[in-house]
Structure 1
């Protein structure tokens, strides 16, 4: 089954879980992975879906054995395991990464944080920063003008952020935000 067909089948059957009208574009994947490369070390992706961002991460030079994916949808997990041999694919929520990962250079998130309750959003981002090394980055996209975290979440987690990309060639257009520890 094609990646696009898989996405749309999941969108129709689980619209709240998918929370997007189209798969991420290759342009968004490139923007999300712009600070990654062979020297990044371990990279973890939250919510890889069909693997569009995953492909961007690998194209940036991250080795398959340095990449771990955390995905809740079993159909996406099956697809990802077949499409990306050598990449570690976990059928588990993002927050469980704290049990498996350490010394991570970057967390790339395709999760629809804005459609989640604030407490869950904060829990997911807190988990990312538990596994990130001190200079690690958390990269998240959103369709709105502001990051997917409230100012109070950003303050409570002791983070700073910058908009590191705007991708008009995505449906809908997306902004990329990179978060770091203060």
Structure 2
């Protein structure tokens, strides 16, 4: 990551620490883990909260076609950076809590995978519910998966909410080489 990207991250954190909710950008190790379990790289993929694009870079390196990838970023400066770094990848400057009100991003086809860098634990539960509803009711294929990381050793979605929405969560790994260390979960419909 360049010095300019690190400064952009710092400025975004200073503007809205709850939105960024990290002390440093995600590591390449975390990006490798969160993208490692993805089965179908030719199907549409959505990334929520890509920030500086470390997960985006890992997805592209794994062979995801640029036209099959949509990035949803709430921070305007990050969205502009992503447009510059990843030409040919569709970048939407919007809050992921509004996903349920949008059309499907890939014509009639829904995403097989959604990768999220959104800090669910630092959000009000109403916003987490809105994001999950948009993901699972509007944009994710019935047998698709949401990959979410967290800094705590438990799923960032409360058990009662998982049960209410008919979801299950499986921890797929832990990354010590991240600041702070992180856990990755796969969420799917039961």
- TM-score w.r.t. the length of structure 2 is 0.91
Unaligned stretches of 5+ residues in structure 2: none
Within a 5 Å distance, the mapping from 1:131-170 to structure 2 comes to 131-170=139-178
Supply the RMSD in Å over aligned alpha carbons: 1.4
User: How do residues 93-132 of structure 1 correspond to structure 2 at under 5 angstroms?
Assistant: 93-98=95-100, 99-101=102-104, 102-130=109-137, 131-132=139-140
8 Å contact from structure 1 (residues 40, 105) kept in 2: no
Equivalent residues of 2:145, 2:188 under 8 A apart: yes
State the distance in 2 between where 1:56 and 1:135 align. Answer: 23
Q: CA deviation at 1:15?
A: 1.6
Contact 1:40 1:106 in 2 (8 A): no
**Which stretch has the larger CA shift, 39-48 or 73-82?**
39-48
Q: What is the rounded CA distance, in whole Å, between the counterparts of 1:40 and 1:141 in structure 2? A: 23
| Aligned residues between the structures | 182
Rounded Cα–Cα distance in structure 2 between residues aligned with 1:133 and 1:40: 14
Contact 2:31–2:55 (CA<8 Å) still a contact in 1?
yes
Match of 2:9 in 1: 7
Structure 1: runs of 5 or more not aligned: none
TM-score (norm 1): 0.94
Structure 1 residues 47, 164: CA separation in 2 closer, same or farther (over 3 Å shift)? same
- CA contact under 8 A between 1:38 and 1:63: conserved in structure 2? no
Q: Distance in 1 between matches of 2:147 and 2:64?
A: 15
* 1:172 correspondence with 2:177: no
Runs of 4+ in 1 over 2 A off after TM superposition: 35-40, 95-98
